[in-house]
Amino acid sequence: MQRIIICVICLVIVGIVFSQTGEQINAVEIEIKNTIETSINTFWQKDYQGWANTIIHNNNTVGIWVSKTRNVENSGWANIGSQVKQWMDDNPLPLLRELNITFSQLTVKENMAVVHFHYSSKDQIQKDPDYIPMKCFWVLQKINGFWKISTWVNIGRNSYRAVASEKSDMEKIIIDCG
C-alpha cells in the first residue's frame, strides 16, 4: 500500500512538472507568434518604428525576399532599415490587412527559435481565391527578455502566376511577396 501511495505521489509530481513545462512552452510560442504578427502588421501599416522594434539591429541581420521577378538579399540592419524606411517614406499609405497566418513549425531552443509559416491577407484571398500564401522561414532570438527577428526568408509563391511589370526593385518585391 505504501508503494502505491509513493507511486501516486511521484506520478502527480511528474504530471505537475510536465504540465508546467508545457505551459511555459505555450507562453514562449505565443510570445514568438505575437512578435511575428506585430512585425508583419507594422510593416504593412507603414509603422517604421513599430516594425523596427521587432528586428535585431546588428550586422548579422539578414532579410531575403524571393519571387519570380526579384530575389533580394539584404544584410545588416543599417542596410535593411534604411531600405525599408525609404520604401515606407515613398509609399506612406498603410495597407490595413487582416492577416491569415498558419504556423507550420515552431522550434525553440533556449533563446533561439526557428519558425516556418505561411501568410496571406483576407483582401488577397477575396481578390483572388486561388492566391498562394507567402512561405516564410524566420529565425528569432530572445534579447533582453524580448523576441526579435534576426533572419527572414520570404518566398512569394503567388508571384510565379503573376506577370512582371516595370516597377522599382522594392515595388516588385512588395507586389510579388505582399
Instruction: Supply the pLDDT for residue 154.
Output: 94
- Look up the CATH number of the domain holding residue 103: 3.10.450.50
- What was the pLDDT predicted at 20? 41
Q: Is residue 165 over pLDDT 90?
A: no
The reported pTM is: 0.76
Which residue segment(s) compose the domain that 144 sits in? 2-177
Single out the residue of 173, 178, 56 nearest to residue 113, CA to CA.
56
Q: What's the domain count of the chain?
A: 1
pLDDT at 25 > cutoff 70: no
DSSP string, 112-153: EEEEEEEEEEHHHHHH-TTPPPEEEEEEEEEETTEEEEEEEE
